Structure 1
Amino acid sequence: MTESHRMLTRRGAVVATLAAAGATASIAKSAVAADDPALAPRRHDWDWLVGRWRVRHSRLKARLAGSTEWEEFDGSSVAWLTLDGLGTVDDNVVELPSGTYRAVGIRAYDPKTGQWSIWWLDGRFPGQIEPPVRGGFKDGVGTFVGDDTLNGRPIKVRFMWSQITATSAHWEQAFSPDGGATWETNWRMAFTRVRA
């Protein structure tokens, strides 16, 4: 079995497991999700993301290193709802100049905190999932922040979704080395919907 075939097999198993879990949870809704009308709007937070997308990436070549050199490349994404709308999964192809890889984005809404959590599972490192960013949408902009490390030092990570329409969206990632006082945007994605 080739390395690429093994990677696709592992990716397929992860996606199938997540999809099955989402389907099961969708059928057997939790009591809080089924009975709380305040959750109804949250079930539609990600409706716009469902479907197939072409993605144009722009990424800083080095992060938190004073770099101003960007690289651009293509990719794609397919997203669907899980957990009766209180979760999503997306399957991503990222065509880095150094080599294409796949990744899975996982989102879930927590009624107790009133926040969405977003996890990223990089297909190159299938044994680990990155720490989540948490937040939500306000005035059409989604902001999600979390803690991580970069080269052994603690950083804050921020995802932002904006410019959301029926056919396009903008995503960007920024890192902060100083607890959120300053931010360096290091990755941008322009999403364009693929029509069937």
Structure 2
Amino acid sequence: MSDTFPEKMQPHPEFVMRGNRFQALTWDVMSPEQQAMTRAVLDGKRGSMQGPYNVLLRSPEVGQLAQQFGAQTRFNSSLPLALNELAILLVARDWTAQFVWWAHRRIAEEAGLSPALIQAIAKGQTVPEDLLPDVKVVHRFCSELLRHKQVSDATYADAVSHFGERGVVDLMATMSYYTLVCMSLNVDGYPLPDGAQAELAALV
């Protein structure tokens, strides 16, 4: 007997979702398209439905594309993990996206990003001078792009010299995906896990 089942007969996956304005969905109320997206997320490296997925499920075709894009930017970027996480933190700070910051600050620290740099970003302060060159390049590129919606010729040239044209595109892709994530969670008013405290104060 085959161990495979038709889609509608497969056991329901176990997961927990949270939401605020967007009420947390359960498996039984999902459409087939929403169920397919949920399985895709749970079967991937993330293995969890925490974060933007409860929002993105409302448009499952968009959500499916978005979660695939997100998996690429997070797990298959040409940039080293610490630098990719630096870009995510800068976007989270720009949006004051508490859940994204809460989740990715820990990943960034474990990847080797300087705690002093992370705290400076959180507080909107000048970053330390003794950063590694590649960290400086990513910080400058992302900061300019977020603040001015463009980058200078010198900043672009520096980024290409360190990471190549692919690296520049991968960096912009990470910033783009996490902009969608931050936007989704801020519109929802997405709650932090029980016991977690907001770590970002509003910047003047």
Q: TM-score, normalising length from structure 2? A: 0.23
More strand by share: 1
Q: TM-score, normalising length from structure 1? A: 0.24
Q: Which of 1 and 2 has greater Rg?
A: 2
Relative contact order: is structure 1 or structure 2 higher (C-alpha 8 Å, sep ≥ 6)? 2
More helix by share: 2
